[in-house]
Amino acid sequence: MSVDVVVMGLGHVGLPLARAAVSAGLTTAGYDVSPTVVTGLTEGRSHVGGVSDAQVAAMLEAGFHATADPEVIGGAQTVLICVPTGLTPAGTPDLSAVEDASRAVADRLRAGMLVVLESTSYPGTTEDVVRPLLEQRSGLRAGDDFHLAYSPQRIDPGNETWGVGNTPKIVSGCTALCAKYATAFYGRFVDDLVLARGTREAEMAKLLENTYRYVNIALVDEVALFCHQSGIDVWDVLHCAATKPFGFAPFSPGPGVGGHCIPVDPRYLAARAESQGFGFRMLAAAHEVLTRMPDHVVERALSLLDGTRGRSEDTRALLLGVTYKADVADVRETPARPVAAGLLAAGVQVHYHDPYVTDFTVDGRPLPRATDLRQALAEADVAILLQDHACYARQELGRAPCPLLDTRGRTMGDRVTLL
């Protein structure tokens, strides 16, 4: 079956991208190694925030289909590799999914095909990892027989303002002709394209975007730690600083960083730099601060308990919001896990409330979920606002009957303590 595009990896990046392609009138198929994902999409169910069931149904009606059969790749004019790039247990880059996807494409590569890597990785991945796999297994050459490009994803789950179509998209190619084909493809459904000098520049730009956030979040977190020690209201400091109309970009402190990008991408940059004998000292310092924040939250919560009723076997903490980001159902790398683990290690019973998460485990241990917020606050000895979901009304939390540790600076009340 011939299609305009096959999207490999139908997760938080691939599914919105496939939807954009379908909306632009491109015949689109999706490939994923997860039978559960494929079955759900085939039955019209979305597993990705930002893409609704109704939108999946519209995609299916327009001809989209998902499959776990890699043979679908052979009929594509363009293949987009959107598979995850995580970390190994040792904290080093794990490119196994990219390598597996590249092999699957190589075995079905045809002359004239455009292959684009969208997965975030270190500079050199397209040229040094993907290209050799494609060329050696297929016998075809990039730039001559097929076209190979890199275009980093810029998906922001839960963002209703910026989507695939109106977010400027970086495009690069292994050759000028490869870049030209990639630009022509993305120009069909993206408004603004930014042409990079080469694939390494595009890969580095993506890492810089997320590393910028990583470092600045660490900065305001450390400022928060200092302000707590010095008796300074960090939230007022941030409010005042943010009024400067130039030279300052506001960031907010919190219990730590989460998600697939911010905690992971800087490790790709650091690992690549280390392999070339370069040490990113700022990344190391930021990592130290950010990994400390969940422990700081635990210490503050335990201090609140000690200052009220003390701790006993039935002392209960309530975590409010366990996702890594507000109003998304995503718990990847969420700081809620180390916070919960620290409280459990201190002998505190831990419950959680989150409208987006029905099951939440910490070190294989499922945490009890509260569904009635008012009742849960009444039964808790301390509550910790970890994620500021829209459902958490400022006034209601401010009137909570138990002490509330607010890590997001949203609430006010006699029993509220700000991070």
**What is the set of active-site residues?**
261
The one-letter amino acid at 353: H
3-state secondary structure 196-229: CCCHHHHHHHHHHHHHHHHHHHHHHHHHHHHHHH
| Angle, vertex CA 225, rays to CA 219 and CA 229, nearest 5 | 145
**Which tokens belong to 103?**
């092999």
β-strand pairing of 193-195 with 169-173: parallel
How crowded is the C-beta side of 308, counted as CA atoms within 13 Å?
20
Distance of CA 22 to the CA centre of its chain: 24
On whether the CB atoms of residues 155 and 16 are closer than 8 A, the answer is: yes
The Cα–Cα gap between 330 and 298 comes to: 22
On whether the CB atoms of residues 324 and 258 are closer than 8 A, the answer is: yes
- What is the separation, in whole angstroms, between the first and last Cα of the chain? 56
On whether the CB atoms of residues 123 and 117 are closer than 8 A, the answer is: no
Give me the phi and psi of 398, to 5 degrees please: -65, -20
The Cα–Cα gap between 130 and 117 comes to: 8
The Cα–Cα gap between 224 and 418 comes to: 10
